[in-house]
Amino acid sequence: MDIKETIDKSYNIWFGMNSVYEMWAKKNNLTNNSLMTLYVISSLGLEATPKQIIERLQLPKQTVNSTLNTLEKKGYLHREQDTQNKRQKIIKLTESGKAFTDEILEALYQYEYQAYAQLSAQERIMLISINEKLLKYLTI
């Protein structure tokens, strides 16, 4: 397989993976952006700034703001003014938002676990190693 074929196959895999997560989110009454936003907030310790979400997910500010508005209307989070930086908002999960996020991320983990469990330990190590190496070469 030449490099062009490798790149094309890589794109097809990337698009396929995105599609899988889009469909999983939809089955759980979320958009992929909402799911990943909840993941980022959770991974940052249940509070975050819009800037952190934008940087982590590489989404436009308007998309993140719209996603946060939707999640806020559902009662999953609220925004407060940052006491140290008045121009910035702090996003915090509500109690129901934390419960929902914990539940949905655990379900996602179980879904992913079933797939990753099909790979041997060596294959999982190779998967991470190759992806880390490719990321390094792409960011040079």
State pLDDT tens for residues 33-92: 999 999 999 999 978 999 999 999 999 999 999 999 999 999 999 999 988 888 889 999
4 part of a folded domain: no
Query: Domain range for residue 126?
Result: 17-138
What's the whole-model pTM score?
0.90
**Helical residues (DSSP H) of the chain, grouped into ranges:** 3-27, 32-43, 50-57, 61-73, 95-116, 121-138
**Domains: count for the chain:** 1
5 part of a folded domain: no
Looking at the predicted structure, is the pLDDT value of residue 116 above 80?
yes
8 part of a folded domain: no
Beta bridge mates, 91:
48, 79
Mean of pLDDT values over 111-115: 97
Q: What is the pLDDT of residue 83?
A: 85
For every residue of 3-38, DSSP letters joined together read HHHHHHHHHHHHHHHHHHHHHHHHHTT--HHHHHHH
Secondary structure letter of residue 46 according to DSSP: S
2 part of a folded domain: no
Q: What is the pLDDT of residue 140?
A: 81
Q: What is the pLDDT of residue 43?
A: 95
Q: Give the CATH number, domain containing residue 66.
A: 1.10.10.10
9 part of a folded domain: no
Q: What is the pLDDT of residue 103?
A: 97
38 part of a folded domain: yes
State pLDDT tens for residues 6-28: 999 999 999 999 999 999 999 99
104 part of a folded domain: yes
64 part of a folded domain: yes
